[in-house]
Amino acid sequence: MRLIMLSKVELEQKLRSLRIELENLIKKAEEVRIERDELNDRVREINAIIREKREELRACIESTKKIREQLKLEKKRLSELRSKKRFLLSELKKLKQKRVELIRKKNTLTSIVNPRKVSEDRLRVQLEALKWKYQTTLLNPYEEKVILNKVEKLEKKLRYLESIHEIDKELEKVYRAINSRVEELKKINEKLSEVNETVSKLVEKLKMHSSNIDVLKRELEEIYSGREMLKSRADERHKEYVNLMKKVRELKRKVDDMNFLLKAYEKTEKIAKERELKRRLAEEVYRRYIRGERISLNELKLLIELGMI
């Protein structure tokens, strides 16, 4: 209602002012839109970085899982090797104890009959000779007793020598068994060294991967935080843009209304001017009509239209 009460000049001034305000508002809205779009672009870029980091983290976790499984297997292998080593050491201890016992027995027997000093073959020859003499010679009781005592001593020495030979054979087996266990222990120690080295490397690798996982998680947290800040700013700019566009639409309606009023003013002025021209023309025609001068049919119609006759 107040706009209708304004003059044409005031309306034109008001319209110019509104158009300037609208232009500035559109410019401001465009700036806000560009800033919003740039923020959204940065958010999309960060989302791409997040996807890459997540994939890197997933791969690192998967690799860590495999390392843990491998480490578990190697530790199991290590435990089995240590168990086998303990068993072999126990066996070796028993074999060495057996060796000591056999050597002790041999030393005891050797103190009675030393194989290095006594020939077994010679003893057997002596024994056979005594037995032959006992069987083929007529002996008195004393001589028989002497021969039988000698036979008993020789047989005893031969039994000792046989025992020593048996002990030597047993010792040979024990030495072979000891050497075999020592070789096995040597191989197990080598394997233990290899497995220990593998375990150490896997532990270091696991620490490195765990550290990388922690770093990636911290990086992702920081990136998430930065992204949320950008999204918040983008949302604020979007709301601002929506509000500005709402004001733009309102201003456009005002400008349209103002244009409509100006056109109405211009049309009214045009009609008023046309009426004024008709009135002046009619007055001139009417004066001629009063003077009795001849007027045209159109001039007559004009006078009638204006109610002058």
Tell me if 122 is assigned to some domain: yes
State how far the Cα of 119 lies from the Cα of 226, in Å rounded to an integer: 100
Express each pLDDT in 43-73 by its tens digit.
Answer: 999 999 999 999 999 999 999 999 999 999 9
State how far the Cα of 235 lies from the Cα of 286, in Å rounded to an integer: 75
> Is the whole model's pTM more than 0.75, yes or no?
no
State how far the Cα of 87 lies from the Cα of 174, in Å rounded to an integer: 17
Tell me if 282 is assigned to some domain: no
Q: Work out the mean pLDDT of the chain and round it to a whole number.
A: 91
State how far the Cα of 250 lies from the Cα of 246, in Å rounded to an integer: 6
Torsion angles phi and psi, residue 306, rounded to 5: -90, 0
Lookup: tokens for 59:
């791969």
Burial of 120 (0-12, 13-18, 19+ CB in 10 A): middle
State how far the Cα of 260 lies from the Cα of 244, in Å rounded to an integer: 24
Tell me if 301 is assigned to some domain: no
Tell me if 306 is assigned to some domain: no
CATH number of the domain at 47, please.
1.20.920
What pLDDT does 104 receive? 95
State how far the Cα of 245 lies from the Cα of 193, in Å rounded to an integer: 76
State how far the Cα of 101 lies from the Cα of 73, in Å rounded to an integer: 42
- Say if residue 305's pLDDT is above 70: yes
- Say if residue 2's pLDDT is above 70: no
- Say if residue 161's pLDDT is above 80: yes
Tell me if 265 is assigned to some domain: yes
Domain range for 232: 8-269
What pLDDT does 293 receive? 84
127-139 mean pLDDT = 86
Lowest mean per-residue pLDDT among 51-60, 72-81, 98-107, 128-137: 128-137
What residue has token string 């006594």? 118
Q: How far is CA 128 from the centre of its chain?
A: 91
198-225 mean pLDDT = 96
- Say if residue 5's pLDDT is above 80: no
Tell me if 294 is assigned to some domain: no
What pLDDT does 244 receive? 96
Tell me if 48 is assigned to some domain: yes
Percent of the chain with pLDDT over 90: 61
What pLDDT does 181 receive? 96
Lookup: tokens for 99:
């060796």
Express each pLDDT in 165-192 by its tens digit.
Answer: 999 999 999 999 999 999 999 999 999 9
Residue 244 vs residue 117, higher pLDDT: 244
Contact by Cβ (8 Å): 22, 255: yes
Tell me if 283 is assigned to some domain: no
Contact by Cβ (8 Å): 50, 230: no
- Say if residue 279's pLDDT is above 70: yes
State how far the Cα of 261 lies from the Cα of 248, in Å rounded to an integer: 20
State how far the Cα of 223 lies from the Cα of 48, in Å rounded to an integer: 11
What pLDDT does 1 receive? 42
State how far the Cα of 216 lies from the Cα of 203, in Å rounded to an integer: 20
Tally the domains of the chain. 1
State how far the Cα of 97 lies from the Cα of 79, in Å rounded to an integer: 27
